């Protein structure tokens, strides 16, 4: 497994209704926060930014970054499609 890759990808609905994006790494999640995010504030959003944009995510591991990204999604009310 590549460094920063997540064990389980996250699929979420972008700001365009019915359009989904699958994220499988901290790098992809950081890009999503910059380009496809409906909010630019909030505690979980700021925490995710810190984990994903800095080297802190590398020292705490990719799954910690994934959890921070999921928390930011929940805070923003972003629809997450779960694996079936």
pTM: 0.80
Question: Residue 12 in 3-state DSSP?
Answer: strand
Cα–Cα distance between 21 and 50 in angstroms, integer?
21
* Cβ 29 vs Cβ 12: under 8 Å: no
Q: Is 60 left (phi over 0), alpha (psi -120 to 50) or beta?
A: alpha
2-40, pLDDT tens digit by residue? Answer: 557 888 999 999 888 889 999 999 889 988 988 888 888
Cα–Cα distance between 33 and 79 in angstroms, integer?
14
């Amino acid at each position: 497994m590549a460094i920063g890759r997540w064990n389980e990808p996250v699929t979420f609905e972008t700001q365009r209704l019915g359009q989904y994006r699958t994220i499988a790494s901290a790098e992809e999640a950081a890009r999503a926060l910059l380009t496809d995010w409906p909010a630019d504030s909030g505690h979980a959003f700021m925490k995710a930014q810190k984990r994903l944009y800095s080297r802190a995510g590398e020292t705490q591991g990719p799954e910690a970054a994934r959890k921070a990204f999921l928390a930011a999604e929940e805070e923003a009310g972003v629809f997450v499609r779960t694996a079936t």
